[in-house]
Amino acid sequence: MKSKLVLLLAVVFLTTSLLMGCGAQQQAPTETTEETEAPEEAEEPTTVETVRIGAILPLTGGAAATGVKLRAAMEVAQDIINGEYPELAKVPLAKEVGLPNLGNAKLEIIFADHQGNPEMAKSEAERLIEQGVAGLVGAYQSSCTKPASQAAEQYGVPFVAGSSSSAALTERGLNYFVRVAPNDDIETAMFFDYLIYLNDKYNADIKTVAVAYIDNEFGVHAKEMVEKWVKEKYGALGFELVGVVPYAVDVTNVDTEVQQIKSLNADAVFHASYIADITMFVNKYKEFKVAPKAVLNYCGGFQDTQFVVNLGSDSDYFAGGAAFSAEKLGDMPELAKINEFYKAKTGADLDGPALEEFSSVLVLAEAINIAKSLDGDAIIEVIKNTKFDAPYYATGAIKFDAKGQNEILASYMVQTQNGKYQAVYPEEIATAEPVVPIPDWDKRN
């Protein structure tokens, strides 16, 4: 019933009437490669002029600078889908105009601003659904993705989250929600595995860990995942969690928090922070001469290339999980071309969250194309049962598990060195060796 309501809204919203195809014989999706696994379709295709999806992002407020970049990445995806790019033939929907299974319909993204406010994220999701969008993407901050995707669930509208990382998002039993990015559970395990690698290969002697985290959905769940993994696995391997340091969402000064971190004297600090926050922390780390052996950052502020712009050479030697490194563009021609389009819009290279939001649009659009329908149930069925080609990721594909989590890990560890994000782990994809320990501030060049 929900999906029928959404389809009715879509009919009212679209400027062209929906026309059913004549033949009963199904056609294979034009942009699905041989490696893509898709469910059989039972319905004849729909023909429309425009397919509209909604994107909910922080376009004003504290995370606006990031939100604007994510919007640009989504617009690049929209441009690729609506144009013809034979040089991107391996990228789904790139070599033909629009969605071929829906009469080459153009994709239109309707953007909404949640301002970093969870209640506004929910109301904006409901507004877009009432306007008849075929699906939703966003919302970057996990605290906003949570209520927005809950609203989508109520109406049977597919929601493809790109970069929201709270592990709890895929633990709610939702039927219409999936996520592209690794969650903080997966990232935490990767962090500890990276520390083991540093200890084994570089004699880093890292044993104690502290967590600094923003006190919201994103940060709290990151902290909880560290506690979980120390208890369940990594404590027995010699790691100890010596303390946690939360800070307010609207923090404007982190002197107290940095002094707390300094007093913990942890070998490694895990950060769950956005760009403004991590910039403040690094400035204060320098002021108070705090230099742990390693500082590892969950997908958030550190991955934003503004981190290097804000801090210059002081940004060096920090690390974190990322789905993108400009140093790997020479090995990935599709990613290089996508980055070229993005850089033309923003003046900067892609970063991990931007690439994840780019891919969320492609996944949703390809699912609509394969489903040959704007029906929410048909679209989510495709999303759940398709392995999507993603040549712009090092892993080459996206596939969602039963809970909606992308099970093909697209992230790797990067470290800032001389202003560049170098891939440092796993070793087989590294573009540089990690620098460990982080040099003391008075010993840097």
Do 254 and 125 share a structural domain? no
Calculate mean pLDDT across residues 217-235.
96
pLDDT one-digit tens code per residue, 106-139? 999 999 999 999 999 999 999 999 999 999 999 9
**Can you tell me the distance from the alpha carbon of 320 to that of 411, in angstroms, rounded to the nearest whole number?**
9
pLDDT at site 260:
98
Return the ∠ at Cα 280 (arms to 276 and 283), rounded to 5°: 140
Cβ contact 138:55 at 8 Å:
yes
Cβ contact 323:354 at 8 Å:
no
- The region that residue 61 occupies, defined by phi over 0 for left and psi between -120 and 50 for alpha, beta otherwise, is left
For residue 405, tell me if it sits in a domain: no
Q: How many domains is the chain partitioned into structurally?
A: 2
For residue 249, tell me if it sits in a domain: yes
Do 394 and 290 share a structural domain? no
Mean pLDDT of the chain: 91
Do 266 and 321 share a structural domain? yes
For residue 92, whether the previous peptide bond is cis, meaning omega lies within 30 degrees of 0, is no
Q: Give Cα 197 to chain centroid, integer Å.
A: 25
CB atoms within 10 A of CB 51: 25
6 has pLDDT over 90? no
Residue type, 426: P
Calculate mean pLDDT across residues 170-179.
97
**Can you tell me the distance from the alpha carbon of 220 to that of 222, in angstroms, rounded to the nearest whole number?**
5
pLDDT one-digit tens code per residue, 57-99? 999 998 999 999 999 999 999 999 999 999 999 999 999 999 9
Cβ contact 81:94 at 8 Å:
yes
pLDDT at site 370:
98
pLDDT one-digit tens code per residue, 386-436? 999 999 999 999 999 999 999 997 789 999 999 999 999 999 999 999 999
Do 19 and 168 share a structural domain? yes
Q: If you search the block for the tokens 């070229």, which residue do you land on?
A: 340
Backbone angles phi, psi at 155, to 5 degrees: -100, 5
Calculate mean pLDDT across residues 29-52.
58
User: Rg of the Cα trace of the chain?
Assistant: 22
Do 194 and 177 share a structural domain? no
- Residue where a domain stops, chosen among 398, 419, 434: 398
The model's pTM: 0.83
Q: Where are the beta strands (DSSP E) in 248-374?
A: 268-272, 294-297, 319-322
**Can you tell me the distance from the alpha carbon of 167 to that of 7, in angstroms, rounded to the nearest whole number?**
31
pLDDT bucket at 44, cuts 50 / 70 / 90? low
pLDDT one-digit tens code per residue, 328-349? 999 999 999 999 999 999 999 9
For residue 340, tell me if it sits in a domain: no
